[in-house]
Amino acid sequence: MLTSMDLNLLRIFDAVMTERNVTRAASALHMTQPAVSNAINRLRLTLKDPLFVKIQGGVLPTQRAELLWPPIRDALARIADTLERNDFDPARSEAVFRMAMSDYVADQVIRPLFVEQQTVAPNVRIHLHPYSLDNAGVLLEKGEVDMAAGVYSNFGSSLRTLPLETLTYVCAMRKGHPLLAQPRFTLDSFLRARHLMVSLLGTPTLIDHELAPHGYKRNVVLTINQFALAPRLLAETDLICVVPLNTVRNSPYSHLLEAVEAPFPFAPRTVNLIWHERSDNIPAHRWLREEILKVCQAQGMVFDQAQPAESHSY
């Protein structure tokens, strides 16, 4: 079968699997949509499988397509590594990177990175994917994302890591909040206050995981899945929220907020960049990892080696 197959079809298959949409795949490949559709039809005949089923907004891979994709993507990455070794030019590259991270990490890393790289690497594209600490390892193993960033510690043997930042947590609330008028911010006052919870999946966060063994539970009245929304909500209500300090510092609402030490010793956490070992020596990926590290260093996002990373989501 291999001798009679146009291997370029595998590259097109990889793009459709990545985008889950023929039009977006065609755009990424700089091809027309009919050309991509024709290529997929040829591959269907060769592999004797439908490969994709049309659904609203795109396509859904068949079971065989899901099984074929990881080894095909791995092989394509190795071929690219061999051909591009020592020949990566950011100024000319049209590389596409797929990354999984929260809006907090994206604001700290991707925003300044992309602003900086508009002149250095104008044709490089970055796509952010839905993020979850629970499935990030699986996404990396399957090749559905190239890198992820978050508070990880339970790494598989095939995953590589780079620490980016140590997070310090504070209790944020609006200036003039009734709690600030109390002589002392007690644990009882903290637990009884109306809490805003930032949870990417709507599930308990590391804050709750730390409180639970002591029999403590927060009075959560509102749960959101974006850190960027938290400062405005805090500025306009009497909610309080435990967040990374930079969530307050970097917000346009920072002048309306107070960031105080919580009456419970929440441990710092380390944000790690993680990727699959198959990407270790791909020049474009090495370049991006180095650029991300430079951005973090330039912003003073210093990783504290004394603080261990944890596995819970924030």
CA dist., res. 309 & res. 304, Å (int): 10
Q: What is the pLDDT of residues 119-129, one digit of tens each?
A: 899 999 999 88
Lowest mean pLDDT among 39-43, 226-230, 304-308: 304-308
What is the fold of 96-165+275-298?
A: D-Maltodextrin-Binding Protein; domain 2 (3.40.190)
- Give CA angle at 63 (58, 68), nearest 5°: 95
CA dist., res. 209 & res. 169, Å (int): 14
- Give start-end residues of each CATH 1.10.10.10 domain in the chain: 2-76
Q: How much is the pTM?
A: 0.67
| Distance (Å) of CA 261 to CA 173, 211, 243 | 11, 15, 11
In the prediction, which pLDDT does 121 show?
A: 92
Task: Copy the structure tokens of residue 72.
Answer: 């095909």
Q: For the chain, what is the mean pLDDT?
A: 87
Task: Copy the structure tokens of residue 108.
Answer: 């700290």
Q: Outline where the chain has alpha helix (H).
A: 8-19, 22-29, 33-47, 63-84, 103-105, 111-120, 136-142, 187-192, 206-211, 230-236, 245-249, 283-298
Checking if the pLDDT of 304 tops 70, the result is no
Checking if the pLDDT of 312 tops 80, the result is no
- How many C-beta atoms lie closer than 10 Å to residue 49's C-beta? 15
63-84 helix and 283-298 helix, angle to the nearest 10 degrees:
80
CB 234 within 8 A of CB 241: yes
Amino acid at the residue 125: R
In the prediction, which pLDDT does 306 show?
A: 37
In the prediction, which pLDDT does 307 show?
A: 38
| Distance (Å) of CA 308 to CA 208, 242, 282, 295 | 19, 20, 29, 22
Helix (H/G/I), strand (E/B), else coil: 190: helix
Superfamily of domain 169-260: Periplasmic binding protein-like II (3.40.190.10)
175 CB-near residues (< 8 Å, 6+ apart): 256, 257, 258
- Its CATH class, for the domain covering 2-76, is mainly alpha
226 CB-near residues (< 8 Å, 6+ apart): 103, 198
Lowest mean pLDDT among 91-100, 179-188, 294-303: 294-303
Task: Return the CA Rg of the chain.
Answer: 23
CA dist., res. 222 & res. 21, Å (int): 35
Checking if the pLDDT of 308 tops 70, the result is no
Lowest mean pLDDT among 220-224, 258-262, 278-282: 278-282
In the prediction, which pLDDT does 314 show?
A: 27
- Give start-end residues of each CATH 3.40.190.10 domain in the chain: 96-165+275-298, 169-260
In the prediction, which pLDDT does 310 show?
A: 33
As a whole number, mean pLDDT of residues 39-61 equals: 93
CB 235 within 8 A of CB 253: yes
CA dist., res. 259 & res. 84, Å (int): 48
CA dist., res. 34 & res. 28, Å (int): 14
